[in-house]
Amino acid sequence: MTIEMKTKYGNIDISNEVVATIAGGAAVDCYGIVGMASKNQIKDGLTEILRKENFTRGVVVRQENDVVHIDMYIIVSYGTKISEVATNVQNTVKYTLDKTVGLSVDSVNIYVQGVKVIN
């Protein structure tokens, strides 16, 4: 699927995989994030932390009536305040998508799939 944007110059179609990769990269750069988790835990394994090339498995991009929603499945670092980390990820992902591709995101839903101790 693609996200369709209309500009004064014409129509732009952006692949969901591109949006998911940008969102996942922005999320992993946030403080307190260990990595992305798979949205299909039973199929992909419970403790797997996704590498950079697999960010799209931890991000779901939906477009409903010209409104974009993003669901992100993350693993946070032990000892961090989960609500602050989630808020930071939401703000960072919205800002990054707005500045890189001009995409206005209505909601970024965060699903914490685990907590990991980092040495």
User: For residue 107, what pLDDT is reported?
Assistant: 95
For residue 97, the one-letter residue type is L
Rounded Cα distance, 54 and 22, in Å = 12
Alpha-carbon torsion (62, 14, 39, 68), positive or negative: negative
Rounded Cα distance, 84 and 62, in Å = 24
Cβ neighbour number for residue 115 with a 10 Å cutoff: 13
The one-digit pLDDT tens for each residue of the chain (119 residues) are 788 888 889 998 999 999 999 999 999 899 999 888 877 654 545 455 656 556 678 899 998 888 899 999 999 999 999 999 999 999 999 999 999 998 899 999 999 988 988 76
User: For residue 48, what pLDDT is reported?
Assistant: 57
- Please identify, in words, the CATH class of the domain defined by 2-116: alpha beta
Rounded Cα distance, 31 and 2, in Å = 30
Token look-up 């499945």 returns: 73
